[in-house]
A and B are shown apart, each in its own frame.
Chain A
Amino acid sequence: MAGYNNNQIKPTPPRWLLAELTYSCPLQCPYCSNPLDYASYKTELSTDDWKRVLTQARKMGAVQLGFSGGEPLTRQDLPELVRHARELGYYSNLITSGYGMTEEKIVQLKEAGLDHIQVSIQASTQELNDHIAGTASFEHKKQVAHLVKKHGYPMVLCVVIHRENIHQMPEILAMAEELGADYLELANTQYYGWAHINRDLLLPTQEQFEKAEAIAQAYKEKVAGKMKIYYVVPDFYEDRPKACMNGWGTTFLTIAPDGVALPCHSARELPGLECPNVNDYSIEEIWYESKTFNFFRGFDWMKEPCRSCDEKEKDFGGCRCQAYLLTGDMYNTDPVCSKSPEHGVIGQAIESARVAALAADEKPLVFRNSKNSRGMD
Chain B
Amino acid sequence: MTINPQLPIHFSRTHRLQWEEAQQKFVILYPEGMVELNQSSAEILKCCDGERTLADIVTELEQKFATSGLHPDISAFLEVALNNGWIQQ
Contacts and interface: CB of A to CB of B under 8 A. Distances in A.
Nearest to B22: A61
Contacts of A156: 31-32
A13 to B, nearest CB: 6
A272 interface: no
Interface string B24-47: 000101111110000000000000
Contacts of A51: none
B31 A61 contact: no
A231 B8 CA distance: 34
A225 B83 contact: yes
A182 B20 contact: no
Interface string A109-123: 000000110100000
Nearest to A66: B32
A64 B22 contact: no
Given A13-B22, A91-B16, A183 B31 contact: yes
A229 to B, nearest CB: 13
B29 A91 contact: yes
B47 to A, nearest CB: 22
Contacts of B29: 63-64, 91, 115
B23 interface: yes
B30 A154 contact: yes
A91 B35 CA distance: 13
Interface residues of A, number: 22
Contacts of B27: 63
B66 to A, nearest CB: 32
Contacts of A66: 32
Contacts of A89: 18
Contacts of A118: 31-32
Interface string B1-29: 10000000000011010101011000101
Contacts of A64: 29, 32-34
Contacts of A225: 1, 83, 85
Contacts of B33: 64
A63 B34 contact: yes
A147 to B, nearest CB: 16
Interface centre among A64, A152, A182 (most CB of B within 10 A): A64
A180 to B, nearest CB: 12
Nearest to B12: A154
A60 interface: yes
Nearest to B30: A154
A15 interface: yes
B34 A115 contact: no
Nearest to A228: B85
A124 B60 CA distance: 50
A115 B16 contact: yes
A370 B23 CA distance: 42
A153 B34 CA distance: 17
A93 B1 CA distance: 29
Given A61-B23, A63-B20, A154-B14, A93 B31 contact: yes
A182 B32 CA distance: 13
Contacts of B83: 225
A93 B32 contact: yes
A66 B32 CA distance: 8
13 contacts: A61-B20, A64-B32, A64-B33, A64-B34, A91-B16, A91-B18, A91-B30, A91-B34, A115-B16, A154-B31, A156-B31, A225-B1, A225-B85
Given A63-B18, A91-B30, 15 more contacts: A60-B22, A61-B20, A63-B22, A63-B27, A64-B32, A64-B34, A91-B29, A93-B31, A118-B31, A152-B13, A153-B14, A154-B14, A154-B30, A182-B31, A183-B31
Interface of B: 1, 13-14, 16, 18, 20, 22-23, 27, 29-34, 83, 85
